[in-house]
Amino acid sequence: MTKAELVEQVAQNINLTKKQTETIINTLFKSITEALRDGDKVELRGFGSFRIRQRDPREGRNPKTGETVQIPAKKVPFFKAGKELREMVDS
Amino acid sequence: MIKADLVDTVYQKVGLSRNEAAHIVEVIFSVMKEALRNGEDVQVVGFGNFKIRQKRTRVGRNPKTGEEIMITSRKVLTFKPSRNLRDIANGKVGRPHEAPLA
């Protein structure tokens, strides 16, 4: 399912145009993105939670040349599915 | 941030009642869940992809007791953040999530 298909299906279930629905869906993902940017976690009951995981710096290796390279510390957005969604997916 | 905060943002952004905003947010997540339940991926450009992966049966170990146990085959949900979201998480500017649909 792409975002366009999501917009389409949501619009069918509510009393709004596709354009309005698209604005709302964009607002929603933008809002989650901004929360994560600010280091906040986002907990959505029945769905799951988003947060930022901190990765330590480490030594990596260029697989082609065998050369050792430093991989800097970084932050990785992480999603954990909630219980309801986990069970739904596995049924 | 919890769902109520998302509802507030939607409510302030568009001219809807708070109840309508709450309903729409519920519908958005339930449409996504329904797709995932059917084994379908959900791809949100500029945000990330939700994907179902099939895991095979494997032998695991109870880390406390050392006892070996069978972990049954199962389906799990993974989220792969988009380049945009990873960049934003690391303080790079990134594109705001306003790109119109093609």
> What are A11-58's pLDDT values in tens digits?
999 989 999 999 999 999 999 999 999 999 999 999 999 999 999 999
Among chain A residues, the shortest Cα distance to B32 is held by: A6
Dihedral sign (CA A36, A38, A41, A47): negative
Query: What pLDDT score does B100 carry?
Result: 45
* pLDDT, tens digit, 9 for 90 and up, residues B10-60: 999 888 899 999 999 999 999 999 999 999 999 999 999 999 999 999 999
Contacting residues for B53 by C-beta, under 8 A, at least 6 apart? B75, B76, B77, B78
Is B27 at the interface with chain A, CB within 8 A? yes
Q: B3 or A15: which carries more pLDDT confidence?
A: B3
Phi (first) and psi of residue A80, to 5 degrees: -115, 120
Q: How many CB atoms lie within 10 A of CB B68?
A: 9
d(CA A31, CA A6): 17
Task: Report domain extents, chain A.
Answer: 1-40, 41-91
Angle at alpha carbon of residue A70, lines to A69 and A74, rounded to 5°: 135
Residue with tokens 């519920």: B26
* Integer CA distances (angstroms), A48 to A85, B28, B50, in order: 7, 14, 12
User: Pairing state of beta strands A42-44 and A74-81?
Assistant: unpaired
Report which of B38, B67, B73, B68 is spatially closest to residue B52, judged by C-alpha positions: B38
Instruction: Write down the pLDDT at residue B92.
Output: 84
Q: Which residue of A has its CA nearest to B85?
A: A33
Helix/strand/coil for B40: coil
From B96, which residue of chain A is nearest by alpha-carbon distance? A30
Q: How far does the CA of residue A66 sit from the closest CA of chain B (Å)? A: 26
State whether B10 and A10 contact (CB < 8 Å): no
B93: confidence class by pLDDT, cuts 50, 70, 90: confident
Give B46's contacts in chain A (Cβ within 8 Å): 29
Q: In order of start, what are the domains of chain B with their CATH numbers?
A: 1-40 (4.10.520.10)
Is B49 at the interface with chain A, CB within 8 A?
no
**Chain A residues in contact with B56 (beta carbon < 8 A):** none
A41-91 belongs to CATH 3.40.50.300: no
